[in-house]
Amino acid sequence: MKVVLFCGGLGMRLRDYSNTIPKPMVPLRYRPVLWHVMKYYAYWGHKDFIICLGYKGDVIKDYFLNYSECLSNDFVLSEGGRRVDLLRQDIADWRITFVDTGISTCIGERLLAVAPFLQGEEAFLANYSDGLTDCPLPAAIDHFHQSDTIASFLAVKPNQTFHVAEMDARSRVTAIQDIRTSNTWINGGFFMLRKEIFEHLQPGEELVVEAFARLIAKQQLTAFRYEGFWRAVDTFKDLQELENCLAEGDGPWEMWRRNERSAGAASTLIAPGLRRTRSHPPTVEPRRVNGRRKAAPSGDDLMP
pTM: 0.82
Residue 90 pLDDT: 87
Q: Do 92 and 44 meet the contact criterion of CB atoms below 8 Å apart?
A: no
Reply yes or no on whether the pLDDT at 252 is more than 50.
yes
Residue 261 pLDDT: 67
Q: For residue 248, give the 3-state DSSP assignment.
A: coil
pLDDT in tens, 236-248: 889 999 999 999 9
Residue 296 pLDDT: 42
Residue 104 pLDDT: 87
Tell me the three-class secondary structure of 159-213, residue by residue.
CCCCEEEEECCCCCEEEEEEHHHCCCCEEEEEEEEEHHHHHHCCCCCCHHHHHHH
pLDDT in tens, 130-166: 999 999 999 999 999 999 999 999 999 988 777 888 8
Indicate the range of 68-72, 115-119, 229-233 predicted with least confidence. Answer: 68-72
Percentage of the chain modeled with pLDDT above 70:
82
Q: Is 5 left (phi over 0), alpha (psi -120 to 50) or beta?
A: beta
pLDDT in tens, 26-64: 999 889 999 999 999 999 999 999 999 999 999 999 999
Residue 160 pLDDT: 73
Question: Nearest CA to 46 among 110, 152, 138?
Answer: 138
The CATH class that applies to domain 2-73+89-262 reads alpha beta
Q: How open is the CA angle 292-101-123, to the nearest 5 degrees?
A: 90
Mean pLDDT value of segment 123-135: 97
Residue 260 pLDDT: 72
Reply yes or no on whether the pLDDT at 283 is more than 70.
no
Q: Do 110 and 54 meet the contact criterion of CB atoms below 8 Å apart?
A: yes
Q: What is the DSSP letter of 47?
A: -
Mean pLDDT value of segment 241-257: 92
Residue 298 pLDDT: 41
Q: Across the chain, what does the average pLDDT equal?
A: 85
Residue 11 pLDDT: 57
Instruction: Please list, in sequence order, all residues whose beta carbon lies within 8 angstroms of the beta carbon of residue 42, skipping any fewer than 6 positions away.
Output: 90, 94, 256
Mean pLDDT value of segment 169-195: 88
Reply yes or no on whether the pLDDT at 177 is more than 60.
yes
User: Residue 102, Cα to own-chain centre: how many angstroms?
Assistant: 19
More confident residue, 100 or 295: 100
Residue 165 pLDDT: 86
pLDDT in tens, 72-112: 888 899 988 889 898 888 899 999 999 999 988 999 999 99
Residue 82 pLDDT: 87
Reply yes or no on whether the pLDDT at 125 is more than 50.
yes
The per-residue b/e assignment along 253-289, b for 16 or more CB within 10 angstroms, e otherwise, is bbbbeeebeeeeeeeeebeeebbbeeeeebebbbbee
- Could you tell me the pLDDT band of residue 197, with boundaries at 50, 70 and 90? very high
Q: Is 56 left (phi over 0), alpha (psi -120 to 50) or beta?
A: left
Instruction: Please list, in sequence order, all residues whose beta carbon lies within 8 angstroms of the beta carbon of residue 53, skipping any fewer than 6 positions away.
Output: 7, 8, 60, 61, 98, 99, 100, 101
